[in-house]
Amino acid sequence: MSAQRAARAFHAVHGAPCAGVWAAPGRVNLIGEYTDVNDGFVMPFALPHLTWVAARARTDGRLRLHSAAAGPAAELDVGHLAPGTVPGWAAYPAGVAWALRAAGHGITGADLHVESEVPAGAGLSSSAALEVATALALDGLFGLGLARPELARLAQRAENAFVGVPCGAMDQIASACCTDGHVLRLDARDLSRRQIPFDPQAHGLTLLVVDTRVAHEVGDGGYARRRAGCEAAARALGVRALRDVPYVQLSAALEELAGIGGAGDLPALVRHVVTENHRVEEVTACLEAGDVRAAGPLLSAGHASLRDDFAVSCPELDLAVTAALGAGALGARMTGAGFGGSAVVLAERTGPAGAAAVAEAVTRAFAGAGHRGPRVFAAAPGAGARRVA
């Protein structure tokens, strides 16, 4: 897949050449899970996998959206876009046009064609890749000159308010702002960013992504319930968000919560968020000291915390992690919201416990448990969104 292919397909679908092609990557989060919704720290990097948007401006208010992965084109009127009115996949790019217009930018219509190699629904943020590529395309077509963080903010607004998914800021910022060979350390409170060099290959390592290809229905309102629990715990502890509970005060905070009747699972939620923020600090220190191997056990500790305290893992993710570690991986954890989706594994590049052996062990374990085969691939940190043609 390539920019040229997207341009050719655009021509075939829309009957005229496109004005340009813009691309945005999917992402994985190295560490820092459920910390962004607690004003804490996350550490995503951009995948080499891209979503391409070939596009041409229109002046008649029409928005014609086509994707190689979806059915017939959606035809909309940019002047009449409203949250909840566009069904299916077209809500993502239409939501971006809506968010740009709501922010006062003169989008007068466009023809779009989308191609993607980011697996959809695998926790690798194909939705953010689509939104950010669309935002960058519209920015380019209409000469808006918006900075990447602002495009990311509008893309997030599209997903929250137009599509109706209450995601945090991480996915869109990662897709828009990551740089080649780095993880992006993001402070979810003030959105300040730091690029931290991360080149596993230079250290004789490989980072594997294991897409379990399962997405479990969460019967107990999993995401919203945990978010509400974190907010209730922050209120009970008298802090703005759990990010404000220092790691050294964790025991005191847990004691305080234990003293409040009916706190239920709040202590476990607090323990995860506070230790996870601390793990982000520790992984940052490892990477900045050039000791990438030392990050491995921190990833595994993060998984245990998500499994036991935050309770958002599932049998397939647990199996991916235990099989990878059993085969000699340096560290492994679920990544993303959980209940399916993907895991990340840090392994030696070659040798008896190398990436190939680890990938094979995971695949064998899935077969042994009767699960559908996972998709396992190596991922080096890539560049963020950009114009490609």
Listed in sequence order, the residues at least 6 apart from 61 whose beta carbon sits closer than 8 Å to its beta carbon are 77, 78, 79, 108, 109
The 44-57 sheet, strands edge to edge: 74-77, 62-67, 110-116, 44-57, 20-29, 386-387
Q: Which does 294 bind (CB under 5 to 8 A by kind): ligand ADP, Mg ion, none?
A: none
The total number of residues written for the chain in this structure = 389
Which x/- pattern, by CB under 5 A, does the window 17-56 give for Mg ion? ----------------------------------------
Q: Which does 123 bind (CB under 5 to 8 A by kind): ligand ADP, Mg ion, none?
A: ligand ADP
Q: How many CB atoms lie within 10 A of CB 252?
A: 12
- The H-assigned helical ranges of the chain are 3-14, 91-102, 126-141, 148-157, 170-177, 222-237, 250-258, 266-288, 295-308, 315-326, 355-368
Distance from C-alpha of 249 to C-alpha of 72, rounded to nearest angstrom: 56
By CB under 6 A, the residues from 128 to 147 that bind ligand ADP are: 130
Q: How far is the CB of 44 from Mg ion (least distance, A)?
A: 12
| 111, 171, 211, 309: the active-site residue | 171
Listed in sequence order, the residues at least 6 apart from 346 whose beta carbon sits closer than 8 Å to its beta carbon are 200, 205, 206, 207, 208, 292, 293, 295, 296, 299, 329, 330, 331, 332
Give how many residues touch ligand ADP by CB under 6 A. 17
90 versus 183: smaller Cβ distance to ligand ADP: 90
Q: Is 188 in the site for ligand ADP (CB under 6 A)?
A: no
Q: Which of 57, 73, 120, 380 binds ligand ADP (CB under 6 A)?
A: 120
Which x/- pattern, by CB under 6 A, does the window 57-76 give for ligand ADP? ----------x-xx------
Q: Which does 299 bind (CB under 5 to 8 A by kind): Mg ion, ligand ADP, none?
A: none
Q: Is 38 in the site for ligand ADP (CB under 6 A)?
A: no
CA proximity to 28, closest of 48, 8, 54: 48
Q: Is 127 in the site for Mg ion (CB under 5 A)?
A: yes
Q: Which does 121 bind (CB under 5 to 8 A by kind): Mg ion, ligand ADP, none?
A: ligand ADP
- What DSSP designation does 161 have? I
126-134, 145-153, 277-285, 358-366 -> range binding ligand ADP (CB under 6 A): 126-134
Contact 385, 130 (CB under 8 A): no
Distance from C-alpha of 47 to C-alpha of 356, rounded to nearest angstrom: 19
Residue 241's Cβ-side half-sphere holds a number of Cα atoms within 13 Å equal to 16
Q: Which of 38, 127, 212, 277 binds ligand ADP (CB under 6 A)?
A: 127
Active site residue 36: no
Q: How far is the CB of 177 from ligand ADP (least distance, A)?
A: 17
Binding residues for Mg ion, rule: CB under 5 A, are 125, 127
Catalytic residues: 171
Binding residues for ligand ADP, rule: CB under 6 A, are 51, 67, 69-70, 89, 92, 114, 116, 120-127, 130
